[in-house]
Amino acid sequence: MNGDAAPVALPEALPLLPLNGVLLLPRGNLPLNVFEPRYLAMVDAALAGSRAIGIVQPAADGTEGLSAPDGTNLYRTGCVGRIRAFEETDDGRYIMELRGISRFDIAEELEMESGFRRVRPDYGPYAADLHPDPGALADRDRLLTALKGYFEVRNIAADWDALVKTPDERLITTLSMVCPFDPAEKQVLLEAPEMGQRCKLLIGFMEAALREAGNDNAPGNPALN
């Protein structure tokens, strides 16, 4: 079922899905396979209300893609997504997709509901997230050069022609979300103030990976210098 046409709502009480190593950004699409009973209850509650769910990373080490145990410290900044499509499977899971709307800071943790955590979010610092970034990337060529080497080192297959044609913001958002960076790097990408800075971070992470792999074509100077 697809619900992308309904208006965006930013709730005052936001249910959280804490996932280690998982990043959602505004206008990014995040597929999810929901099976834990507490998070099935969370999805039901979201579908009955604003359809909004907050994605946030645990501040402690964990296994990528697994939800945090109750009481785990969380990073202060996450991103709210709206359920744009979902399907209930025969075995009771939800296969769904979130569409990123806006980042938020956790202002206050609220009482748990049906086993899932809730917060009062502060969207104020991220008002610009509600609108596409109109800027152009000054470092696009360097990004694509680093990306090509990074994909080779990581044995990641990609449709290169499609990547080259991808608009700037979509390219930066997609790479930030899908590249296998560690959770701390994912959080830095989330908290970057704007697309240009996020691009510089991507270049820095990729070029560092190339230098670590002994790639002779990797630049010797970090991208953030």
86-104 residue pLDDT tens: 999 999 999 999 999 999 9
Q: Is the pLDDT of residue 123 over 90?
A: yes
Q: Residue 97 maps to which CATH number?
A: 2.30.130.40
What is the arithmetic mean of pLDDT over 113-125? 95
Q: With respect to residue 200, please indicate whether it lies within any of the assigned structural domains.
A: yes
Q: Which amino acid is at 29?
A: N
Number of alpha carbons in the 13 Å side-chain half-sphere of residue 72: 20
Whose CA is closest to 50, among 3, 97, 82?
82
Q: pLDDT at position 47, please?
A: 95
What's the pLDDT at 218?
Answer: 56
Same domain, 117 and 146: no
Structural domain boundaries, residue 56: 14-123
Residues 119 and 156 grouped into a single domain = no
Q: Within a domain: residue 135?
A: no
Last residue of a domain, one of 59, 94, 123: 123
Q: What average pLDDT does range 18-22 have in this prediction?
A: 94
Q: Tell me the average pLDDT across 33-42.
A: 95
- Say whether both 91 and 176 belong to one domain: no
pLDDT tens-digit series, residues 171-212:
999 999 999 999 999 999 999 999 999 999 999 999 999 999
The reply to whether 146 and 98 lie within a common domain is no
Confidence (pLDDT) at 5:
44
Residue ending a domain, among 58, 92, 123, is 123
Instruction: Please count the structural domains in the chain.
Output: 2
Based on the fold, state whether residues 119 and 144 are members of the same structural domain.
no
pLDDT tens across 209-223, in order?
999 988 655 555 444
Closest residue by Cα to residue 200 from 184, 212, 189: 189
pLDDT score of 217: 52
Closest by Cα among 180, 192, 205 to 79: 192
Of the residues 64, 89, 123, the one at which a domain ends: 123
